[in-house]
Structure 1
Amino acid sequence: MKIEIESKKLIKPSAPAVDSLRKLKISLIDQLQSPAYVDVTLFYSSKKDVRDPSFVPISKRSRLLEKALAETLTLFYPLAGRYVEERCLVEWDDQRVEFLEAKADGTLDQFLHGETDPDDVLGHLATQPHPVDQIAPPLVVVQMTTFTCGGMAVGLRISHKIADMHTVSSFLSTWAMACRGSVHEAIHLQSILKLKAIARSGGFDFEREPSRVELVTALVSIALLKIAKLKNGQSKPFLISHMVNLRGRTDLVSHDNLCGNFYTVVSGKSTAEVTELGLHGLVGLVQDAMTTSLAKVANAIDGTDLAEMVMNLAGEYQEERRKGDVDMLIFNSWCRFPVHQVDLGWGEPEFVSSLCAPFDSVMLMDHQKAEGGVEAWVSLT
């Protein structure tokens, strides 16, 4: 499927920022981030009900997205700025975000039903930012792509230096309200209950009821470790790592709407055979790593202490990656982030995706059509 960019615009906040909002010093956790971008693509079908007074025809959607984006940026001024690396700050000096319009020469169904290679398509639905001025690339790029069937995709990329998935989700939800004027496997809830029963039958004494993210992490890890054994010819020690949102987990920060990066990497290591551990053993490993690491975070005495804890956890994780003598299983969870509810004026998305990572990793998110279920996106290199 061929996707061609038809127009490029720069969108600035609909109102200028006060002087105190024009410069933002990023946190130590932000400074740890690579120069990568967090991305999400929302797919909307061509189904429509023209009798619905809130329905927005395709011909007017581009203008609506632009106008709502400009209004939303007044609440997220740093996202319209540029990152100044030598000073570790984001500076807004009347800069803008990039807004692209594109057309695909195929239908949305062709993509959703696997008639095209998703790896070839996804990267063209959320364009990689590039310098548009002499300072630095935009921190945000939005791309609206229309399919021949009338369906569309809205791709968003935000710099990881200033945003984690919580920030992305908050931005999307606010943008949606402004618009309205106010390897993939689905694991269903019935299946989740069975996993809990299997985990309990192993005799593991859980300190608390395992979460669905912990259960699915353990289940997917079993499959990945078996694949790794076939590739390596033998079992190796393994490390299961999860990126965990820290909002609500420490009294040092009381605002749930805190933007920027506020997460940590949590890791559990084992030298045991996965067949010996079984599901209950892996659930216990993941749960113990979560409980131990997050208990330390909760006891941080101040912001500096918290930042040092996060840096130490990240350092331990990077050291294991550097040594390369363990099988690394990297997980990230978008569960509980309402990305499936981003109604830009023409209904909720039919499908939500992210780009496949250039390394072995697993992305978990809420299943759109099965309440309590989990989708697992597995990237294998």
Structure 2
Amino acid sequence: MASATTRLLQLSREVIKPSTPTPLALKTYKLSRFEQAFNHNYMPLAVFYDKNSILCDGQISPVLYSSQSKTLSLYYPFAGTLEGGGNSVYCNDRGATLVEAEIKCPMNRILNNKDVSAQNVVYPSGIPWSSSFYNDSLLVIQLSHFHCGGKAVSVCLSHKIADGASLCNFIKHWASVARQSGDEKGSDFNGASLFPPTNCQPLVPPGGESKRGTTKSFVFDDSKIKQLKERAIKESGVESPTRIEVVSSLIYRNAIISSTFKPSVIIHVANLHSLTKPRVPRAIGCFNPVFHISTDEEEDISFGKLVKECRTGKENMYKKFNQMKTEESFQAVETSFREACAMTSQGRDDIKHYDFYNCSSLCNNGLAQVDFGWGKPVRASLGASLI
């Protein structure tokens, strides 16, 4: 939410349609079993750019509009509408909504605020993680102009039809079209063939759909992360710990010990695109296997123990998934989700109630290289979360 000293002026709102009509043979896009199991909410991602001397303000909007239209002709389900009880997309070329706004404050005031909700000003009001449709669009974009000359491009895409990796691929493709690089890579809308649709109950996110959490920003420089990795090796015995393993374990541990101890669980969301055989890095869909780590006793919250459990949980998930057929794979994901849901259920006396934490990563998704033609971003971030 914008602060009292941050004024926003909406300049325009338009619907961007695909540059070429979707063929009749592609009018119905069936969702995979994973996508069927998720409810709609908008997954928000924004990239921020310093003032540039390459393009003036009057040139930026036409470039984004034109390139978005061309990109939607390839990502045609994103321009459609849900139908069939949410089990398919009618690819009717309805289009994506693109909002242009002016934000009357310096961009650094937003980026330097530890409360990440301050960044939500670069999205249409109330959109991040919302389950209500905005202008009936599956895809909502905002171009924000800060009065210092900085820019932000935010994208909100329905989590019903795509996951974080898919969203990143879409943004990278759009940027490549905008700068006319000629190296655009196609994407595969083949999730339904990998994981055939069936009748299944939606998976309610752990922690419930209406629980709000405070999202804060912590910045770790390279030297601190290196120190954390060295500490993790000594305390856990884990070889070559990753950034996400050490940082998530540190934040999770400190969150638990910041107040009176309470049993807790952290959910790690993995990237299924690299798990399928053959790998499908450019497949578009919502493929989100998870594993969770529960902390039942105070002696379970040592940094080294948490790093080791994170590595073990990830390796076990990879091993199970690679040994399974698609039906068993989905059941494994479903079981993990429902176990986490049970831990965070409220109003039940037959289970132990856990505090809930969620962890996902934008690392190695190429967002630092997203160049629309005026340079690389200074920051890429998710909108403040509804958890």
Q: Residues of 1 paired with 2:29 and 2:55: CA distance?
A: 36
Residue 244 of structure 2 is aligned to residue 213 of structure 1? yes
Match of 2:271 in 1: 245
Amino acid at match of 1:294: Y
- The answer to whether the 8 Å contact 2:119/2:383 transfers is no
Match of 2:310 in 1: 286
Amino acid at match of 1:210: P
Question: What are the residue-to-residue correspondences of 1:1-381 with 2, within 5 Å?
Answer: 1-48=6-53, 55-86=54-85, 88-114=87-113, 119-120=117-118, 122-127=120-125, 128=127, 130=133, 132=135, 137-182=136-181, 183-202=216-235, 204-206=236-238, 208-227=239-258, 230=259, 233=260, 235-251=261-277, 253-274=278-299, 277-301=301-325, 303-322=326-345, 325-359=353-387
Q: Residues of 1 paired with 2:166 and 2:363: CA distance?
A: 14
Amino acid at match of 1:2: R
CA distance 1:354–1:85, shift in 2 (3 Å): farther
TM-score (norm 1): 0.83
Pick which of 168-177 and 304-313 moved more.
304-313
- The answer to whether the 8 Å contact 2:18/2:69 transfers is yes
Q: Residues of 2 paired with 1:249 and 1:56: CA distance?
A: 40
**Which deviations, in whole Å up to 9, do the C-alpha atoms of 1:32-90 show, x marking residues without a partner?**
22321111111112142xxxxxx222111101100000111111100000111515101
The runs of at least 4 consecutive aligned structure 1 residues that moved more than 4 Å come to none
Report how far residue 215 of structure 1 moved.
Answer: 1.2
- 3-state SS, counterpart of residue 333 of structure 1: coil
The number of aligned residues is: 338
Report how far residue 95 of structure 1 moved.
Answer: 1.1
- The answer to whether the 8 Å contact 2:78/2:138 transfers is yes
Pick which of 337-346 and 117-126 moved more.
117-126
* Identity fraction in percent: 25
- The answer to whether the 8 Å contact 1:240/1:286 transfers is no
Unmatched 5+ residue regions in structure 2?
Answer: 1-5, 182-215, 346-350
- The answer to whether the 8 Å contact 1:29/1:311 transfers is no
Q: Residues of 1 paired with 2:75 and 2:269: CA distance?
A: 24
CA distance 1:85–1:189, shift in 2 (3 Å): farther
CA distance 1:268–1:60, shift in 2 (3 Å): same
The RMSD of aligned alpha carbons is 2.1
Q: Residues of 2 paired with 1:61 and 1:245: CA distance?
A: 33
- 3-state SS, counterpart of residue 364 of structure 2: coil
Report how far residue 113 of structure 1 moved.
Answer: 4.0
- The answer to whether the 8 Å contact 1:250/1:299 transfers is no
With CA pairs under 8 Å and 6+ residues apart, which has the higher RCO, 1 or 2? 2
**Which deviations, in whole Å up to 9, do the C-alpha atoms of 1:138-166 show, x marking residues without a partner?**
10011111122222211110000011111
Amino acid at match of 1:11: I
Report how far residue 337 of structure 1 moved.
Answer: 1.1
Amino acid at match of 1:338: G
Q: Residues of 2 paired with 1:141 and 1:186: CA distance?
A: 28
Pick which of 181-190 and 3-12 moved more.
181-190
Report how far residue 216 of structure 1 moved.
Answer: 1.1
Q: Residues of 2 paired with 1:90 and 1:105: CA distance?
A: 38
Report how far residue 272 of structure 1 moved.
Answer: 2.9
CA distance 1:105–1:198, shift in 2 (3 Å): closer
Q: Residues of 2 paired with 1:113 and 1:210: CA distance?
A: 28
Structure having the larger proportion of residues in strand: 1
**Which deviations, in whole Å up to 9, do the C-alpha atoms of 1:238-266 show, x marking residues without a partner?**
21210110112231x53210111112111
Report how far residue 223 of structure 1 moved.
Answer: 0.8
